[in-house]
Structure 1
């Protein structure tokens, strides 16, 4: 009975504990839920500030997000925590300013709640992305917009300990993802360096798999509405849709991945994989088979470019026939071996017919295989056993077998007879009309490599050809082609190409070409070209992407020769004669020549030695150009890259320089113009702010031109340069000016000298200038060199005339280097000049008490100057201001620091009390009986607020001896103080210079190494491009193209290297600045002691 009575009591206690536990855990989860709701609200400013701080530390890009759309939730994936953010993205800086790298509508991360509460490692269980937009971009110089992470400089010089692979405490996150999803993504990859382009539109992807397990199934589902891919301006994949359903068995311990259920669909073509891929050390072992899952011909037809445009229209197409597609990859892949592989593709008795068109493409039979049963790629065989189709009543037959990938063993034949008018009965061509009888019969058998060719026999004909587009009214009529290619021995020397007739009529204007090329071992050619070409009409028939071309060309040219004559430079054996007349020519290229180039009229005549430019009128961008003259050595220039020579009379009414300055705008593409402000520091530490928009204009070394120039007006930045006359010589990588005259900034210039880029790593200039009546104010506002070398010019109005010789180095941004390379000398004459608002004159007037010194009117003053190692020095010159006589000499640095001495001879009563007191203390006498006094002043410091110091005086003879005696008394002690101070000051600067010299040497070493690397990359790039071209006919042209592209890449690398070099020098400059501050302080303290000594005396 007692036991039975105790039972309800124990049950009652149990219920109470359960109830308590329920409240405890319920309250706990309620607190978590409340925290998840309140934390983002209460601490959102702190959270955003912390995120911004971390982004600024590590990311060189603008990251935008709205903290109000940051959230924590326990409900979305209960019981796990979901962290979400909406509407965030990353936008580029500098060269990629305005380019959006990525923009995401919504981003969610699912985190395991128990790992947050009870583990030191947070486990990520799911990721969700909604509508991400990704734009990956590479410029021509190889710079990528996703390279936005800042370098970690915190442990730059410290050797970081290696992580223990078994240590799992290195990170606070454990990415044990079980599911993920990407919805509605758009991805664009644009690589201008390759060039390559890829676009993926509306990608949706989801997957699941437990990555915390050793063996699991990875299930993914991917759909893409549209994918495009192009390489080197050729579109290889266009408007293809993709649907992938794939399950992989993932054995993470063995690194083995096995295909299970899967289907891959491209447009309507569906295929599958079986087998596995396994990574063992450096090897990848694989045994994969693949095959089509369906065999209707219509499925494979959907892959043909232009056929599959819209699903609805494609389904209306009539098709018959079957196809088979299968293959395998089996073996080991590593650096030395390739797996065996095979691919088989067959089409049997197929046809297709567009709806609403009367004729079908019939009897389509294809049997092709590609295979290699070894690990040697050279033993690959491509075997087209059969290709036949009937385009209505026009049969096409081909077969080909090619063995090898470098020594091509070829056995091929193709025969085609085609009435072009029948094409419109089989293919939708509503806007195009074509007619003519086309024939092709070609056979090739033998080996093709660098030393041999297959036996060839090919005949290509077109008669009564006609082509017309609805978009353009004129037809290409009377198209005729009769050409043949033969080789009977397999030797290059026995190859022959004969173009008996290539002719057409466009808008009643005939054009014809005849040519013969024989002996490919020593290419021997003769050709004739005669007729009229309307380029605008040609481009309507054959559009040029990204370019606009128009103009009328009338040509009558005959040429002949041998490649060996060119190699031996026997150009007199290359008879070339005739005439080319050009009118209404215009060319615009969005990428290479956006400014455009026009020729309104041109007449040129050719001989083997010269091109005579009888008449040339046109426009380069906004600039009109007119020229006559001769050009010689053009054949060696074209074929061998030798120097081309010319003597040309060049005229222009208005030439706009700004639009031709090389900038990053062409490389930022859609982003528009980008200006990057950069501080370029000279080798001695001085700096100048430049724009990355303008880079060095390199003068080609293989051009030798004399331009007898007459230009009425040149526009460059904010300058107007007028009435340019003189000789401009372009030679050996330099632009030489010979007595060039022009007007600018209200002054007349006569200029000789050189702009020199022969050594592109160290460009320089050397000019001699005679300038008459130049506006000083305008010169100061227009030229950085004037601002740096003559800082006082900011307060001077009026005119100067000068004979000046100046030379120095240039940065890779075409700005003068204000360092020890800057040197020169000359004279400056000031006329009708007023100095007003000068901080120096204001302080000078304040110290001396002479009000007349606040403003100066100067006329007829000649100043001899010298520029040495970047410092401007002025020889003594005299000024008369009212009843005052001034003698001035001194110097200023490029940073605006003045160091001048001024002697003022003035009536004693005109000197202010402070100056009189200072002079009396120095002299130790009273000047009441003196009529005039000569005040000696020192002017040091920045130009806007220099320090004025009385450093001595002389009176009339009656006080001179007293002054001398007083000075002599304190002389020894003052000397001792000054000598000690100078010794300490010199030691400070010596130590600083030692550190700076070491830093400069290291920076120079890195610069040289970077340039050597750039040179090596240039040579590698050119060699690689030449290796891609096997045809000797194309080698010379390919070399010029490769060298031009390589030079651009190398110059960009030089610019980056020098920019980094200048940055390092700027850091070393701070050492000098700090030392200079200490040096000045030591000397100032010593001078103060000397002043005290003099006061006591």
Structure 2
């Protein structure tokens, strides 16, 4: 190799290295510029909040093009859509023309790839959508210039997207799990062949509250001849499927300024009967590959016309199946003679002209034929509905034609004959004579047992006859787990209720030997904590108007057990009124009248009048949680009591009262209540030095109370503990604080004299009570009597003094001073004697301690009064002398 060649290779190699280094370094130079520009441009152009974590830029990944990767892109709505995240994506990759980075004409995007995204398309009831986010206000400064991105796509890809389409106006919803889409072609050419492929792992679709697709597996493959100038897209080669149904489209779609124009024909010649079965989720998801099936099938359809605004293209889709059948492997029987004729059509312009006609739907199961037909004719705003169903279904045959889950058991016979026809407006306008509805439904020996259901359902007998106005339920005998229920009655307006959400009116008689309310709650309505089932709010439907007469031998609600419950329930407008409900409860009896309201589901409440008679403390404390909060003293009480209670309270969503809102009043009485080892009584016994009070029986107790602001306020009442009488009144709080005050009358044998009646205060909490005996008021009464006598005597001496001459005045002054001293000394002496007598007369330790304190206080007060008398006498004496000397006016 000569020197020139070596030199050339060296220079070339160096150039490559330098060029490679430039490609590595340049992204850092442009990264900040692109990040700032992207956020400014996008947020300035959209009525939405756009943000992302960072932008990565590479010149090597798709050289000679630049690659921009936006990480964690988020687009969030504003105003009424502020809770909507329109798009969140783990990353968005764009491939740009490298030269456009140095141009002022904008960045040219060649490829767009969106990865691991969640997309929400939302239409409000007023028709406004969340994806129209481009700003149109010309006053916005940022909107006066075009977006600095030029779309020259050749490749577009979506990987692993979760998409929700929610149309509140049209009452439609679609949920797509794991969508993958790829389109390739030249979007910049006048004409291009676009190759597209789309797969969806699971598609669910609802319209009008009815689920038409459930977990459908979708694949769409199409080659489209796109005339981009004229915006016409013709289907070339294409093959698609929904579950096992293969189909393709022939025709074209043209984009208009305000909508679409189309002429499409459905090609489904390869569809067989097994493919039709794949649209039934229970069959498609259960050993579908091994299912054998046969029968003649024809499926066709078209879409033709413009879709602009509220106008729709004409369409017609037909499905027929003749003598279809299917059989699962390893099962002995098959479903035979399946015949279907269905057609959904519309002449175009308005969806109100749609006609759904299922003229035939028939099959034979276990030798029992079943047939039905239905037609819903325009206008859809007031459809004419025709429906007929006749047949007998033996549920016991299902296990022989369908592989049931282990533990599932089905038995029983359903025999029905239903015939219905008429317009919905007939029911709305009470034109029952125009509406035809007749038929019957009989059920015998039905049993449904499933692993997913915690309760077995059995219906021994059910007989219902229908006519235009009502359904007559002559008998229903059913069991749900342990619960049994026998019903009879009449339901009116049930067709309008079922099809048009109108009010269902009825009168029912219900009997049960055992009925547990919690067993009828849904799984979402119950949460388990340890071994305690926590209830959820039971919402009363507003479109039910029932009168129910109930007779339940055993009724269970939460932890409460009731027996022989009889009464009337009135259900209407989201309320349930209870009239004259009588039952045995808590070891006694209870009668109840009141209201349970969920008319405002955000503020449910109860308003009850309850009368309890001879119920036991132990039972009611064990079963009623609210009582444990307001009166924990009942936990250690024995005996029976009676009570009348009127209560009004908001409810929490666990069905428990909102105690802060609880308002009520009532009375309480008991002939005998036993209390043992109650902290409050123990504290009182300790203060009175009478241990025998710790276990006491209270006789003939009666009191009245009210409930407000989270407290039970008790009016003063008389109570006797042992041989000690008390008069108490006060309150109990939600936090178990107590605040009671009153008097204690000690028995005569205690020989307490003036100290027999003591003031009493009880505070603290039930677990840590504070008991105070107030003796100061009694002491002050004794001192007051002594002071009054002393003051009266001194005042008499002072008032009797009359000023004469100076000598007489001096003598009089000396006499006043002497008399004041004598009386003061006598006051102190009498106080000592009286105190000694108080102490000597008392034998009870409590009384003696009180007397000793009183004696000391008497002497202290007597000394103070003596000093005061001497001071007052000296002042008077000086005044007399000054007057006698002429230094003061008489």
Shorter-chain TM band: 0.5 to 0.7
Q: Are residues 343 and 707 of structure 1, via their aligned partners in 2, closer, same or farther at CA, if it must alter by over 3 Å?
A: farther
Matched residue, 2:579: 611
Shift of the alpha carbon at 1:358? 0.8
Answer whether contact 1:431 1:471 (CA < 8 A) is retained: no
For 1:90 and 1:230, how far apart are their aligned partners in 2? 28
- Out of 338, 348, 372, the position equivalent to 1:398 is 372
Matched residue, 1:37: 24
Cα deviations by residue, 1:296-336 (Å, 9 ceiling, x for unpaired): 212221121111226xx322111112322111222233345
Matched residue, 1:585: 557
- Out of 428, 435, 450, the position equivalent to 1:454 is 435
For 1:96 and 1:662, how far apart are their aligned partners in 2? 30
Shift of the alpha carbon at 1:100? 9.9
Answer whether contact 2:179 2:201 (CA < 8 A) is retained: yes
Shift of the alpha carbon at 1:727? 3.1
Answer whether contact 2:630 2:712 (CA < 8 A) is retained: no
Answer whether contact 1:604 1:611 (CA < 8 A) is retained: no
**So what's the TM-score if we normalise by structure 1?**
0.46
Q: Tell me, what secondary structure is at the counterpart of 1:114? A: helix
For 1:41 and 1:727, how far apart are their aligned partners in 2? 72
Matched residue, 1:72: 58
Shift of the alpha carbon at 1:359? 0.7
Shift of the alpha carbon at 1:445? 3.5
Q: Are residues 233 and 174 of structure 1, via their aligned partners in 2, closer, same or farther at CA, if it must alter by over 3 Å?
A: same
Matched residue, 1:175: 151
Q: Are residues 738 and 727 of structure 1, via their aligned partners in 2, closer, same or farther at CA, if it must alter by over 3 Å?
A: farther
Q: Are residues 47 and 472 of structure 1, via their aligned partners in 2, closer, same or farther at CA, if it must alter by over 3 Å?
A: closer
Matched residue, 1:295: 271
Q: In terms of mean alpha carbon deviation, does 444-453 or 46-55 score higher?
A: 46-55
Matched residue, 1:530: 511
- Out of 83, 93, 97, the position equivalent to 2:68 is 83
Matched residue, 1:728: 708
Answer whether contact 1:534 1:551 (CA < 8 A) is retained: no
Shift of the alpha carbon at 1:425? 0.4
Answer whether contact 1:325 1:346 (CA < 8 A) is retained: yes
Shift of the alpha carbon at 1:193? 12
Is 2:187 the partner of 1:211?
yes
- Out of 461, 464, 478, the position equivalent to 1:480 is 461
For 1:207 and 1:351, how far apart are their aligned partners in 2? 40
**So what's the TM-score if we normalise by structure 2?**
0.56
The size of the alignment, in residue pairs, is 618
Is 2:328 the partner of 1:343?
no
Greater relative contact order (CA < 8 Å, ≥ 6 in sequence)? 1
For 2:38 and 2:659, how far apart are their aligned partners in 1? 45
Shift of the alpha carbon at 1:582? 6.7
Matched residue, 1:125: 110
Q: How does 1:23-34 map to 2 (within 5 A)?
A: 33-34=20-21
Q: Are residues 93 and 61 of structure 1, via their aligned partners in 2, closer, same or farther at CA, if it must alter by over 3 Å?
A: farther
Shift of the alpha carbon at 1:346? 0.9
Q: Tell me, what secondary structure is at the counterpart of 2:288? A: helix
For 2:191 and 2:132, how far apart are their aligned partners in 1? 36
Is 2:100 the partner of 1:115?
yes
Q: Tell me, what secondary structure is at the counterpart of 1:358? A: coil
For 1:43 and 1:616, how far apart are their aligned partners in 2? 83
For 1:271 and 1:736, how far apart are their aligned partners in 2? 74
Q: How does 1:771-920 map to 2 (within 5 A)?
A: none
Q: Tell me, what secondary structure is at the counterpart of 2:187? A: coil
- Out of 458, 462, 478, the position equivalent to 1:504 is 478
For 2:169 and 2:409, how far apart are their aligned partners in 1? 39
Answer whether contact 1:578 1:605 (CA < 8 A) is retained: yes
Answer whether contact 2:555 2:562 (CA < 8 A) is retained: yes
Shift of the alpha carbon at 1:614? 6.2
Answer whether contact 1:296 1:321 (CA < 8 A) is retained: yes
Gaps of 5+ in 2: 497-502, 534-543, 571-576, 612-623, 632-649, 669-677, 679-703, 716-729, 741-760, 765-890
For 1:577 and 1:470, how far apart are their aligned partners in 2? 34
Answer whether contact 2:296 2:324 (CA < 8 A) is retained: yes
Cα deviations by residue, 1:924-970 (Å, 9 ceiling, x for unpaired): xxxxxxxxxxxxxxxxxxxxxxxxxxxxxxxxxxxxxxxxxxxxxxx
For 1:611 and 1:88, how far apart are their aligned partners in 2? 60
Matched residue, 1:134: 118
Answer whether contact 1:551 1:583 (CA < 8 A) is retained: no
Q: Are residues 600 and 62 of structure 1, via their aligned partners in 2, closer, same or farther at CA, if it must alter by over 3 Å?
A: farther
Q: Tell me, what secondary structure is at the counterpart of 2:399? A: helix
Q: Tell me, what secondary structure is at the counterpart of 1:407? A: coil
Answer whether contact 1:88 1:104 (CA < 8 A) is retained: yes
Q: In terms of mean alpha carbon deviation, does 373-382 or 188-197 score higher?
A: 188-197
Q: Are residues 307 and 259 of structure 1, via their aligned partners in 2, closer, same or farther at CA, if it must alter by over 3 Å?
A: same
For 1:533 and 1:139, how far apart are their aligned partners in 2? 48
Answer whether contact 1:646 1:705 (CA < 8 A) is retained: no
Matched residue, 2:620: none
Q: Are residues 141 and 24 of structure 1, via their aligned partners in 2, closer, same or farther at CA, if it must alter by over 3 Å?
A: farther
Shift of the alpha carbon at 1:629? 7.2
Q: Are residues 544 and 187 of structure 1, via their aligned partners in 2, closer, same or farther at CA, if it must alter by over 3 Å?
A: same
For 2:77 and 2:345, how far apart are their aligned partners in 1? 49
Q: Tell me, what secondary structure is at the counterpart of 1:654? A: helix
